[in-house]
Amino acid sequence: MKGSDSSFDAHADYRDFVELNPQVPWTASPAGDVLDFNQRWLDLTGLTREQALGSGWTEVTHPDDLGRMTAAWAEVVVTGDPYDIEHRIRTADGSHRWMRTRAYAKRGPDGSIFRWYGFTEDIDDRKHLEQRLLEQERRLRDDLAELEAIYRTAPVGLGVLDRDLRFRRINQRLASINGRTVEEHLGRTVREMVPDLSSEGEQALRDVLNTGEPQIDLQLVGETVAQPGVKRTWLEQWHPIRDEAGQVCSISVVTEDITELKRMERELVEADRSKDEFLAMLAHELRNPLAPLTAALQLLETSGSLDERDRRLVAVAARQAGRFGRLVDDLLDIARIVRGEVPMCYERVGLDTIVRQAADSVEEEIRKRGHCLSIDLPPDRVEIVADPVRLAQVLHNLLLNACKYTPDAGHIHLELRGTPEFAQVRVSDDGIGIEPGQLESVFELFRQIPPAGPGERVDGLGVGLAMVKRLVELHGGSVLATSAGAGLGATFTVRMPYEPTATGAPSTAR
């Protein structure tokens, strides 16, 4: 025949197509029995050709999928409708893979089915990817639900403003603060919903949009619809939100109503002021009867008319009166310090002189406890402009503190050094030391470290180091406590400028 190609073998080409196909093409009888398939199916399932013919595919179908597969196949064999189903099969290595099987009926001239043509496609990678995406989507939905719940129930006001300062989002707390519903806020401007917002506050919001810089801890005072006529205070945190191009597209608003906190703060300040006034009044009231009492005891001690027993009793009373007087003096000093009423008389002084005076002032306490006090002075004189009385009080308190917290027969070292920037005095001891968590609190008023040994007590009110800190700061200096820990001693370092820099202090010597 003209144009024919004797080399063409349709059946051979069909077999090549079937065998070379990376998937599994197959055919079945009108009744649904599998008639043909390629080697790929046998390699995939581990079945022999005889096992795979007919309904052999049911032997490798996953038990959970077999019922729906056989039911669907039985139905299309009757109706002739296309067959399309996803299922799992057991592979030759015992694992399971996802497959997609499709089949179409081929009809004869009379409309009856004379063959089924199908494809089984390996979709395992796609199914696992779909499962991972579905799991990721589920987690994202859960995360979003959690964030929405947090947003709705947060104890602070949260919202998002667009570039026109209109509310895009708002939680119930912020809506309640403003005195309107959530729905009323959406799409409305800040000025519409909070008419009492100051122009400075609105400008600050626009600055966030224009500069991209957040506004942190901004306090605003105003009224709301919820409480007209009542001034409230809010603490605002405004942060820019940027789009994919990095441009500021909206503002995240965090609002905390601190009206009650501010009220409590005012009450605490007032209570603290009242406490200071009470301490000052108490100290003055105690000093008034103390002066004649001390004078009377001194007269009795020097009268020469007392027997031995009475002299001992008067000596005890005099010692206690002296101790009481020191407590009153401490109260008066701390009352003046906290009220800013400490008189300071600055002059040029030699620190070596102040150091020796301070050492002399604690000589009796050193001797009584059996301590060894060493003093290290530089060869050159170190001069500063300071109040010599207050500076001597600083060093006296530090030395007395070292005596109190060093067990008997301990060692205390007092060192003076001058640097180009400042003068430095250091008081070190080998006493009970300070725990790391207490290093900052030792300078707090009425704070005392537990004594050196069991059964011991520490005299005083716990105001000595608080006075040290404040008096040093009045000179523009600083004091630092350091310790390697409990039982390892402590060091207090005072650094003083050569000229006082505290506010109101003169810059030259008199």
pLDDT for 364-394, tens place per residue? 889 998 999 999 999 889 999 999 998 998 9
Type of residue at 174: L
- pLDDT tier for residue 450 given thresholds of 50, 70 and 90: low
Of 276, 497, 483, 292, nearest in space to 386 by CA: 497
Q: Is the pLDDT of residue 238 over 70?
A: yes
Residues 23-30, mean pLDDT to the nearest whole number? 93
Q: What is the pLDDT of residues 82-110, one digit of tens each?
A: 999 999 999 999 999 999 999 999 998 99
Task: List the chain domain ranges.
Answer: 10-122, 154-257, 264-338, 347-496
Query: 24-33, 259-268, 441-450, 490-499: which range is least confident on average?
Result: 441-450
| CA–CA dist 277, 339 (Å, integer) | 9
pLDDT of residue 458: 54
In the chain, the amino acid numbered 345 is C
Consecutive H or E run containing 424: strand 423-429
> What's the pLDDT at 222?
80
Q: How far apart are CA 84 and CA 104, in angstroms?
A: 9
What is the percentage of the chain residues whose pLDDT exceeds 90?
46
Residue 210: alpha-carbon gap to chain centroid: 29
- pLDDT band at 314; cut points 50, 70, 90: confident
Banded pLDDT at 508 (limits 50, 70, 90)? very low
317-358: pLDDT as tens digits: 877 777 777 777 777 777 676 666 677 889 999 999 999 999
Q: Which residue has the tokens 């667009």?
A: 162
Q: What does pLDDT average to over the chain?
A: 84
Residue 449 has pLDDT above 80, yes or no: no
Fold of 347-496: Heat Shock Protein 90 (3.30.565)
Beta-strand pair 423-429/490-496: antiparallel
Rounded to whole angstroms, the Cα distance separating 365 from 397 reads 12
> Which tokens in the block code for residue 280?
């000052």
Across the beta sheet with 24-28, the strand order is 34-37, 24-28, 113-122, 96-107, 83-90
pLDDT tens readout for residues 141-200: 988 888 888 888 888 999 999 999 999 999 999 998 888 899 999 999 988 888 877 777
Is CATH 3.30.450.20 what the domain over 10-122 is classified as, yes or no?
Answer: yes
pLDDT band at 262 (very low <50, low <70, confident <90, very high): confident
Higher per-residue confidence, 18 vs 366: 366
Please say whether the beta carbons of 358 and 492 come within 8 A: no
pLDDT of residue 17: 66
Per-residue pLDDT band at 16 (split at 50, 70, 90): low
- Say if residue 461's pLDDT is above 60: no
Q: How far is CA 460 from CA 277, 451, 463, in A?
A: 20, 12, 8
Least confident of 58-72, 85-99, 458-472: 458-472
Confidence at residue 71, expressed as pLDDT on a 0 to 100 scale: 96
CATH class entry, domain 154-257: alpha beta
Same fold, 10-122 and 264-338: no
Which CATH entry fits the domain spanning 264-338: 3.40.50.620, 3.40.50.1820, 1.10.287.130, 1.10.10.10? 1.10.287.130
Contact between 187 and 166 under an 8 Å Cβ cutoff? The reply is yes
In this predicted structure, what is the pLDDT of residue 147? 81
Grouping H, G, I as helix, E, B as strand and the rest as coil, residue 406 is coil
Phi, psi of 227 (to 5 degrees): -140, 75
State pLDDT tens for residues 275-294.
Answer: 767 766 766 667 677 777 77
Pick the closest to residue 73 from 34, 43, 106 (CA basis). 34
pLDDT at 480: 92
